Amino acid sequence: MSTRETCEAILDTFTDAQLVNVVAMLQAMRQTIDDLEDEAFCEKMAQDYDNDPEKGDPMPLENFAKELGITL
């Protein structure tokens, strides 16, 4: 039996009233997982920035605009 099938079998044992609470718990868990993934992504970006050898050497606005094909 797959994990999804096992979950479905367990869900089938709950009443509709109990499923309201199950849904709320699952949504909270999903939000927590999403928040942790976002936090890990931001932490990685911060670490990459801290380890960037060109950190503190900003690109002039004119050069950045030129790279984007924008004429100032």
Average pLDDT, 10 consecutive residues per value, the chain (72 residues): 96 97 98 97 95 85 94 89
Question: What does the pLDDT read at residue 7?
Answer: 96
Cβ count within 10 A of residue 19: 13
Quote the pTM value: 0.60
Contact at 8 Å (CB) between 65 and 72? yes
In this predicted model, what pLDDT tens digit does every residue of 15-30 receive, in sequence order? 999 999 999 999 999 9
Tell me how far CA of residue 52 lies from CA of 13, 48, 69, in angstroms.
Answer: 53, 6, 25
